[in-house]
A = this chain, B = another copy of it.
Amino acid sequence: MKMLINVPETVVADALRGLAAAHPELTVDVENRVIVRRDAPVAGQVGLVSGGGSGHEPLHGGFVGPGMLSAACPGEVFTSPVPDQMLRAAAAVDSGAGVLFIVKNYTGDVLNFDMAAEMAEDEGIQVAKVLVNDDVAVTDSLYTAGRRGTGATLFVEKIAGAAAAEGMPLERVEAIARQVNEGSRSFGIALSACSTPAKGSPTFDLPPGELELGIGIHGEPGRERRAMMTSGEIAEAAVEAVVEDLQPRNPVLVLVNGMGATPLLELYGFNAEVHRVLAQRGVPVARVLVGNYVTSLDMAGASLTLCQVDDELLRLYDAPVKTPGLRWGV
């Protein structure tokens, strides 16, 4: 698999140098692998820190900025960042109002954020943690005990980020982040495997004419393989999986997310089918995002995330945000 890289060993550092060059409003510590909004810490505001393996861009580094994350810690590709990164990020963004760690449910991430939280508390930083575990496809996977964290991470980071920007205290920001996660479900499908720079070839074998339902964001196995389906059939399977589990009573935010290599033309077509099925099921839609937000390198495919919102969560979702990957209102 050909890649636009120098050598696999420098892929993450190269990307961080490129992020720094494109976004002077961020402080990018390439050596220590921490991305921080330049004006951090912001007096009186809770700091939001997330992170995880690289290869899911714009998640997480592309979501650092006013109204969303205060800092992000990128690991190697598909590999958890280490506690030192998280501690460094927490120290950089803590204004005294405390720090919220937003952790996708993967074993390595959970362990390392736990350790970083202990280290930060030892240094006098108040830390709360929220686990994101929205993927309904499988309960345990190669990387996870329990459900995986995928697309809902965007909604948790956006909405909790708005809560922090309004000056809400740590326990309130944490409660809102937890509410967003609990109101969110995701389901992904893959048309092709992704290739990591280190391996240089697809991480699994998906034959011509087949797709995988319930895929994770690292190419880990999903629920089942099937003969290729139409966009409409895939939308029916994804909406059913998500809605049956979520049983939404409120309007939902919809994220139709590309895994990396699927053209936007196809994602919009898929969005049309998702909306058709949601309308059939009587699920009201409050807001829609279509694009590559929580990716899996060059995987072809898409995921659907629904997040049910009350008036407060919708107001916070609509609040201004200014990051490389998500921006409105400023």
Contact = CB atoms under 8 A, between A and B. Distances in A.
A288 B4 contact: no
B329 A268 contact: no
A64 interface: no
Interface stretch (A126-134, A137-145, A151-159, A294-302): A294-302
B265 A57 contact: yes
Question: How many monomers of this protein are in the complex?
Answer: 2
A260 interface: yes
A15 B267 CA distance: 8
B292 A14 contact: no
B264 A261 contact: no
Interface residues of A, number: 68
Nearest to A287: B22
A268 B18 contact: yes
A21 B288 contact: yes
A202 interface: no
A57 B268 contact: yes
B297 A298 contact: no
B266 A62 contact: no
B272 A18 contact: yes
A192 interface: yes
Contact of A330 (B15, B264, B289, B328): B328
Q: 10 nearest interchain CB pairs?
A: A14-B269, A18-B268, A18-B271, A18-B272, A17-B272, A261-B261, A57-B264, A15-B268, A22-B288, A2-B191
